[in-house]
Amino acid sequence: MINSTKPVYDSANNRVSAIAELKELSKYRYLLGQLVRRDILTRYKRSVLGVAWTMLNPLGTMLILTFVFSNFFKTEVAHFPVYILSGLLVWNYFSQATNAAISGLVWGGSLLKRIYIPSAVFGVSAIGTALVNLIISIVPLVIVMLVDRAPFYWSLLFLPVSIVILTAFTLGFGLFISSLAVFFPDVGEMYQVLLTAWMYLTPIIYPETLISPNLLPFFKINPMYWMVKMFRLPIFEGRIPNWQELLPAFAWAVGMLVFGWIYFTSKSEEYAYRV
Amino acid sequence: MSDSQADLAQKFERVPYIIQLENVSVSYRLPSERIGTFKEYAIRTLQRKIKIENFWALTDISLTVKKGEVFGLIGNNGAGKSTMLKVISRVLKPTKGRVKVFGKIAPLLELGAGFHPELSGRENVFLNGALLGYSREEMETVFDDIVEFSELGQFINSPIRTYSSGMYARLGFAVATAHMPEILILDEILSVGDEAFQRKCNIRMKSFQQAGATVLMVSHGLDGLESMCDRIAWIDHGKLKNVGTPQDVISAYREEMA
């Protein structure tokens, strides 16, 4: 019923879309939960092993990579499987979440043309789904550490901080790339190639010591270098990252989140026209 | 006049209209050819060859809909009826002008959009409710009604991919109309399921109307509109050609079409 003369919807409002979208998103938080639930349930609903694939998938990849690469780097890195897996978890999370953000917005586009939904819901729920998968995939990491007799350090308790920073970066990047993919459909395809190149430019499956010192400064431009490091130090080396190691990751995360959010929301009124 | 009616009349005074369009125009930007790649985009930007043609789907529409009114829209295909519903239901932002809506809108544009085939009917009820902007509590209070209205019985726990198209549409309709909205938008959807179910849908629509909901409808069935609507707007090539009583507008429309 009408209680006041204030309109429920006024097209002349919402000038600052970055802030307005945030408010809308909090109104639709139940939808966020439902979308994450849907994605987790449906991804594995018809496969026999179900959610176990979340663990088996990185484990399988890791086993192959370890088998192939341990012959090359065996002498340089002790507990090589743990080294690979700690980086691979970060990478899988990032690539899964950003890809899901793209397909989520493209799928959601068919709905955005029919009913009003805050468009950021699709990107944010994609990150939510990937976050659940990341947390589940900590189980195979623990198994590998036990099997490999790798030490468990107290510094592992720092990981929640790493997860928050990585999530902020991933969300910002996911929003940006999904927005771009709406306007240029081949961005989605190009991004797959980019991801492969990006992965090999990040020390994930090879030891950092392999990079020649002249080239190292270039590797450090890559934000994912810092993201991986932020996880690998507490898991693998047993220490909390120091300020020089944490600051680049933090700055990238905050910068990317702010940029991605503003870019995405500045376009949000166009999605219904364009998707 | 009873007290509550007097109250309502007073509110009516303060908010005379539930939907107000002030000089609303909507343009779709249509590039003369679709540009799908960066390379093309870069080349054409350099050559300044991107011609963007503005297609005005609506031009300068001013219109008000009163609370409790059943308001119909007529016009030829492509005249801008659906665009107008989209502007009102917040899907499209007007290019020019202003839209004000003083109530919650239930969009009933296409039933069952957003259902996931692998999830059960039950799970889809909550997912679809969330897409329409409802909370868990709001969906829980109407869940039993939805199952009953859609006549699904035990099928509510089966995956939606096993449903017939009739079951699918019935569930979609039941979810979309589970809560009485202040404004109901109907875009040619009253052809759901078999005749018995259509009758049920019509009864629900009527009960909404009687309870004071405002209804906006688009239809090509002129006779149906004439009997159901309080007022009708005729849209022609994006312009408001005529607004008035169903008899007047429809006879003018028929005359021009003849």
Per-residue model confidence as pLDDT tens digits over B5-35: 555 455 445 556 889 898 899 888 755 555 5
Chain B interface includes A193 (CB < 8 A)? no
Chain B interface includes A110 (CB < 8 A)? yes
pTM as predicted: 0.85
Q: Identify the DSSP state of B159.
A: B
Contact B76, B52 (CB under 8 A): no
Contacts of residue A190 in chain B, CB cutoff 8 Å? Answer: 38
Task: Verify whether the Cβ–Cβ distance A38 to B104 is below 8 Å.
Answer: no
Chain B interface includes A111 (CB < 8 A)? yes
Chain B interface includes A13 (CB < 8 A)? no
Helix axes A120-136, A138-147, angle to 10 degrees: 20
Q: How many CA atoms lie within 13 A of A205 on its CB side?
A: 21
Give residue B143's pLDDT.
95
Give residue A1's pLDDT.
42
Spatial CA neighbour of B245 closest among B71, B105, B96: B71
At residue A6, the 3 state secondary structure works out as coil
**Bridge partners, residue B185, by sequence:** B107, B216
Chain B interface includes A273 (CB < 8 A)? yes
**Which residue among B100, B102, B109 places its CB closest to the CB of A114?**
B109
Question: By CA distance, what is B12's nearest residue in A?
Answer: A2
Mean pLDDT, chain A, integer: 86
Spatial CA neighbour of B105 closest among B235, B229, B213, B233: B213
End-to-end CA distance of chain B: 45
Decide the pairing of beta strands B105-108 and B183-187.
parallel
Contacts of residue A8 in chain B, CB cutoff 8 Å? Answer: 101-105
Task: Verify whether the Cβ–Cβ distance B118 to A42 is below 8 Å.
Answer: yes
Residues in contact with A43: Cβ distance below 8 Å, sequence separation at least 6, in sequence order: none
Chain B interface includes A189 (CB < 8 A)? no
Chain A interface includes B67 (CB < 8 A)? yes
| Cα–Cα dist A264/B2, whole Å | 51
Give residue A46's pLDDT.
65
Contact A225, A215 (CB under 8 A): no
CB-based burial label for A178 (10 Å; 0-12, 13-18, 19+): buried
Handedness of CA B157, A104, B90, B51 (dihedral sign): negative
Q: CA of B229, closest CA in chain A: separation in Å? A: 22
Give residue A183's pLDDT.
85
**pLDDT bucket at A257, cuts 50 / 70 / 90:** very high
| Cα–Cα dist B213/B190, whole Å | 17
**Bridge partners, residue B127, by sequence:** none
| Torsion angle of C-alpha atoms A67, A72, A75, A78, degrees rounded to 10 | -40
| Cα–Cα dist B93/A47, whole Å | 42
CB proximity under 8 Å: A 158-187 to B: 184-187
Task: Verify whether the Cβ–Cβ distance A5 to B15 is below 8 Å.
Answer: yes
Q: Identify the DSSP state of A113.
A: T
| Cα–Cα dist B258/B254, whole Å | 6
What is the DSSP secondary-structure string of A176-233?
HHHHHHHH-TTHHHHHHHHHHHHHHTSSSSS-GGGS-TTTHHHHTT-HHHHHHHHHHI
Task: Output A51 or A121, whichever has higher pLDDT.
Answer: A121
pLDDT tens, position by position, A120-177: 999 999 999 999 888 888 888 888 889 888 889 999 999 999 999 999 999 999 999 9
Task: Kindly state the helix (H) or strand (E) to which residue B104 belongs, with its residue range.
Answer: none
Tell me which residue has tokens 């350099």: B46
What are A174's two structure tokens? Answer: 């996911």
**pLDDT bucket at A75, cuts 50 / 70 / 90:** low
Task: Verify whether the Cβ–Cβ distance B37 to A38 is below 8 Å.
Answer: no
Quickly list H helices, chain B: 3-14, 38-47, 81-88, 121-131, 136-150, 165-176, 195-210, 222-228, 246-257
| Cα–Cα dist A165/A174, whole Å | 14
pLDDT at A3 > cutoff 50:
no
Task: Kindly state the helix (H) or strand (E) to which residue B114 belongs, with its residue range.
Answer: none
**Bridge partners, residue B65, by sequence:** B19
Give residue A258's pLDDT.
96
| Cα–Cα dist A62/A57, whole Å | 9
Task: Kindly state the helix (H) or strand (E) to which residue A38 belongs, with its residue range.
Answer: helix A29-44
Handedness of CA A110, A112, A117, A122 (dihedral sign): positive
**Which residue among B29, B113, B116 places its CB closest to the CB of A38?**
B116
Question: By CA distance, what is A40's nearest residue in B?
Answer: B119
CB proximity under 8 Å: B 74-93 to A: 86-87, 89-93
Give residue B215's pLDDT.
87
- Residues of chain B scoring pLDDT < 50: 1-2, 8, 11-12
